[in-house]
Structure 1
Amino acid sequence: MSNPRKSVCLAMACALVFQASAAEPAMHRTVAPVELAGMLGEAPYLIDIPERWNGELVILARGFEPVGIPRTLPMPPNEATSVFLSRGYAVAQSGYSSQGWAVRDAIADIERLRQHFIRQYGAARRTYLVGFSMGGGIAAASLEQHAGDYQGALSLCGANVPGARLAQELLTTLVSFDYFLPDATGKGGGLSTPQAASNQGEVMSAIAGALAGKPEVTNQLARALQVPSDALPGVVSLHYLVFQDIAQRAGGMPVDNRATVYRGFDDDKAFNAGVRRYAGDAKAIRYVASAPALTGQPTRPLVLQYNRADPTITPHFQSIFADLSNAGGTTRPLTLPAAGDGHCGFSSKQIAEAFQVLVDWVRSGQRPR
């Protein structure tokens, strides 16, 4: 027969140990730093764990990679990786299973990577998402779709725009270019007709050549799209590559602009009368609604920070997400003051400071002022 007093003492001791470990989780340690590169299906990935791991995980979401760009294996780490490793965080990052506007693939790839990390190293005490550019939108969408698996997300210079709205905005850029410079690039139907996209260098060269010597057209388009004139060729070519990739993935024209009333051009009446109109494909329209599906109303902390004078994520794109967020939601995202210049022009210090805002919010449970 067991000793009742001994059993009670053992139970109390176990309870005290459990309470202590729950209140003050022990520092996670690895035998040596982990630097792992591998493949999950078609997606390359990296996992890095510092020797003195704090038990928390950062999943980094990279930005847009044009279709056809040669990939290096093992994939190179994101430049911000050391920002988190030096602070004791484990870092996992996926190269995604496809190039281009890979948001749907990326969300699935990141979730697969998170589960792989758990199988290999156990569940992290807290898991954060951090994304740059297209990856910023992926981080925000992943936070909405997998809220129970993450404590919060940081979107830096993020394309935080629902897929359907993004496709509309991209088409606006292309039909306006075709209106002012019809067939200027030598492509049948202009830039806005769904077709297999050329590589970025060819597109930029053709667009820059078409705009050269036409300062009035260049300035008018730049004003309408809210970008500097010297950045216009790059912005138009990027919008072309992304839109054509979306159309290819969707299997048809993802936008119906037959009833769209365009504004912001010098002669809106003439523009609306002459701009190219397209009947959207129903299947393609449904596809873009999920690429990404983004409501702007997360249930977990979400911090956003944009750059000053960003020609890619302009104030117009930033306002789209702000309008969604202001519509309601249980956890209103926090937008930090703009920092750094250009697209994703953040310093390591600025990234660390923005991430610390997120961490403090998660740990305190109080949204920063």
Structure 2
Amino acid sequence: MRALLALTLVIGLLPLPALHAATPPTPRTLSGELQGAPWRLDVPARWNGELVMLAHGYEPVGVPRETPMSAADSTQALLDAGYAVAQSAYSSQGWAVADAVADMERLRQHALTQLKQVRHTWMLGFSMGGAVTAASLEQHPNAYAGGVSLCGATLPGQTLAEDLLTTLVAFNYFFPKAEGLPATGLLSSEAAALPQMALYQGIATALATQPKHAAQLAARLQVAPDALAGTISLHALVLHELAQRAGGLPAGNDGTVYSGFGDDAAFNAGVQRVQANAAAQAYVRDRLSLSGRLQRPLVLQFNHGDPTIVPRMQAVYPQLAARAGSAAELRVLPSVGEGHCGFSGAQVVDALKAAATR
């Protein structure tokens, strides 16, 4: 009895935490701004020690931003799978690939001061963020275990600019002086000044007046006819924004011989010809470059029927990687989902796991 009383007394004198289970871990969210780029870092309660740097897609100039930064749609699926997720809103809007690469690298370094014992860091990007992902792996290979580009615009800046230019001069050829659009065409400063909805409506109206030409243009651009107006208006928006960022038109077509537009001889004879601004051309070549040279695994995955990243665009980066001798580091997963960036949370996690098994 004396021994039992002594034991009871000792237990009663123990500090309170020793009598209870350890406090369960809780999720946490940090946010702030780094050199003009809003950011957030989400850490799940049961963190697996892996960090995902999540790069979002194209954000038109002037779109309002939330404060603090809101999480991308796929964030919760990644958190549920145990990953910590860091993401940046970028220091500029528009086709901000160069800024985004710097912003994401700055955020990665900051995240490592907030997280202890990170086992691996991964880059994962959507749409324009796919280009950010590929560029980040090329420029900072030692920072990442690998990356994933989903519905990614993994094209060098010069290739992208030339593709967008083709869309606009082809529309101008088939639909000159369209009602509701500037008589000077989609490449003009007047078109650049139009609100995006007015531009879209003018393009859609013009396409409806000439279904045969619309079908020809849709087939050449590899876009479904019902998505054609949206694709053309997006191409105009991005090219004009890129020209403003670069200080001039970054692509020209003086020596381009086009094909696939029906009567190619007539098309090449009548299509609008423009010269690139040399400084703007140098900007997209140098600041928005992609080489295909990989030292870390990169997974690409696209959607079925994507009107934004069409098959000809999807083929560009694998060709770059093959020419650079990096094909072994690249894996293209079968297409899933529909439309542009139509991935479920489970598909996003699966693509990330595929990068980890390379």
Superposed pair shares fold, TM > 0.5? yes
Query: 1:69: which partner in 2?
Result: 63
Query: Within the alignment, does 1:132 sit opposite 2:126 as a pair?
Result: yes
Alignment correspondent of 2:318: 322
Q: For residue 153 of structure 1, give the secondary structure of its aligned residue in structure 2.
A: strand
Contact 1:104 1:290 in 2 (8 A): no
Does structure 1 residue 224 correspond to structure 2 residue 204?
A: no
Give the whole-Å Cα distance in 1 for the aligned partners of 2:77 and 2:189: 41
> 1:297 maps to what in 2?
293
Q: Who is 1:215 aligned against? A: 211
Q: Which residue of 2 aligns with 1:191?
A: 186
1:286 maps to which of 282, 286, 300: 282
Is 1:245 aligned to residue 225 of structure 2? no
Other-structure match for 1:169: 163
Q: Distance in 2 between matches of 1:355 and 1:243?
A: 31
Aligned 8 A contact 1:49 1:85 in 2? yes
Q: How many residues align?
A: 333
Q: Contact 1:61 / 1:130 at 8 angstroms: preserved in 2? A: yes
**Which segment is superposed worse, 198-207 or 299-308?**
198-207
Aligned counterparts of 2:287 and 2:204: Cα–Cα separation in 1: 29
Q: CA deviation at 1:298?
A: 1.1
Give the Cα separation in 2 of the matches to 1:359 and 1:285: 37
Match of 1:205 in 2: 201
Could you say what the CA RMSD is over the residues aligned between the two structures, in angstroms? 1.7
CA distance 1:30–1:70, change in 2 (3 Å) = farther
Once the two structures are TM-superposed, the CA of residue 291 in structure 1 deviates from its matched residue by 4.5
Deviation at 1:238, TM superposition (A): 0.6
- AA matched with 2:335: A
- Structure 1 residue 32 and structure 2 residue 26: aligned? yes
Matching residue's letter, 2:111: F
Match status 1:337 vs 2:334: yes
Residue 71 to residue 199, structure 1, CA distance change in 2 (3 Å): farther
Query: 1:321 & 1:120 partners in 2: Cα distance?
Result: 34
User: Structure 1: which amino acid aligns with 2:290?
Assistant: L
Counterpart residue number, 1:11: none
Instruction: Find the counterpart in structure 1 of residue 41 from structure 2.
Output: 47
- Hey, what does 2:141 align to over in structure 1? 147
SS at match of 1:47: strand
Residues of 2 paired with 1:294 and 1:314: CA distance?
18
The share of aligned pairs that are identical, in percent, is 51
Is the deviation greater in 218-227 or in 352-361?
Answer: 352-361
Which runs of at least 4 in structure 1 moved beyond 6 Å after TM superposition?
A: none
Q: 1:151 touches 1:300 (CA, 8 Å); kept in 2?
A: yes
Larger of the two Rg values belongs to structure: 2
- Label 1:309 to 1:346 Cα distance change in 2 as closer, same or farther (>3 A): same
Residue 111 of structure 1, aligned match among 97, 105, 114? 105
Q: TM-score, normalised by structure 2?
A: 0.89
Tell me the residue number matched to 1:26: none
Deviation at 1:322, TM superposition (A): 2.2
The amino acid that maps onto 1:343 is H
The TM-score, its normalising length taken from structure 1, stands at: 0.86
Q: 2:355 aligned with 1:355, yes or no?
A: no
Query: Cα distance, 1:122 vs. partner?
Result: 4.2
Cα displacement string for residues 84-142 of structure 1 (whole angstroms, at most 9, x for unaligned residues)? 11122110000111111111111111111111112333462210000011111111111
SS in 2 for 1:129: strand
Cα distance in 2 between the residues matched to 1:118 and 1:52: 18
- The 8 Å contact of residues 168 and 235 in structure 2, kept in 1 or not, is answered as yes
Structure 1: gaps spanning 5 or more residues: 1-28, 362-369
| Aligned counterparts of 1:340 and 1:74: Cα–Cα separation in 2 | 31
